[in-house]
Amino acid sequence: QELTPKPSIWGVIVLVLGLSVYLIGTIGAEWFLRRSSLIVVLGGLILYLYGIEYIKTLLFPLVFLIFMVPLPAIIYNAVAFQLQLFVSKVSVQLISFVGIAVYRSGNIIEISTGPLAVEEACSGMRSIMALLALTSLFAYFMYSSRLKQWILVVFALPLAVVTNIIRVTATGICAHYFGKEFAEGILHESFGLIVFVIAFVLLLLLSKFLNWIVPE
């Protein structure tokens, strides 16, 4: 589709809004506002120079840029801490289910070979953000149906948490049988890559299922 530039004066308003957000973020030392203001400024420039049709065409790339902006620390830490506790609780239940003596204190899992800490990296927040970004791209290019796109994106949230539970559970079981040092070393890092691949494979299977239910 060929687009004809039709500059809009409304772009100036959006541009001023973006610059205002940057100024507020600078005064308040809020990095999230400062960083995200760039997206608003870009949107304002596109609207002012090229018009509303270009904004509609470039809306997804613009919104996708939000993944480059880290969440505010107060929100990230609060959510990550709750996820740490949740992952710890479920992992302890799964580890005990296979007959291993285990005890949990907060985000610390005690097993026979010593304590295992479910750190912030194991909470699932990073996996959630990475999977959301990857799933958004996949859904945007693969489907024209907004419903299918949103189903895939929403499904990425619990999937990231589940895969991190698998990672922590597997680490705890391996630590019990092969030692804490072995489990927390390269094996733990390998689990991170493996479960991420598993998560994306499950998303692919979900997309196949959606295609089977409602063909494109």
Residue 144: the pLDDT is 80
Please say whether the beta carbons of 18 and 40 come within 8 A: yes
Residue 45: the pLDDT is 93
Please say whether the beta carbons of 40 and 59 come within 8 A: no
Q: What are phi and psi of 113, to 5 degrees?
A: -95, 5
Spatial separation of the C-alpha atoms in residues 168 and 118, rounded to whole Å: 7
Q: Which residue has the higher pLDDT, 95 or 194?
A: 95
Residue 21: the pLDDT is 92
Question: Which of 1-10, 15-24, 190-199 shows the highest mean pLDDT?
Answer: 15-24
Please say whether the beta carbons of 107 and 143 come within 8 A: no
Q: Is residue 44's pLDDT more than 90?
A: yes
Spatial separation of the C-alpha atoms in residues 107 and 87, rounded to whole Å: 8
Contacts for 108 with CB less than 8 Å, ≥ 6 apart: 88, 115, 116, 117, 118
| Single pTM value for the model | 0.74
Residue 164: the pLDDT is 82
Kindly report the average pLDDT of the chain as a whole number: 83
pLDDT, one tens digit per residue, over 117-135 is 776 666 667 778 888 888 8
pLDDT, one tens digit per residue, over 81-124 is 888 888 888 888 888 888 888 888 777 888 877 777 776 666 66
Residue 40: the pLDDT is 93
Please report, for residues 3, 14, 103, 173, 183, the alpha-carbon distance to residue 114 in angstroms, rounded to integers and kept in the order given.
64, 56, 11, 12, 11
Work out the pLDDT band at 211, boundaries 50, 70, 90. confident
pLDDT, one tens digit per residue, over 26-38 is 888 888 889 999 9
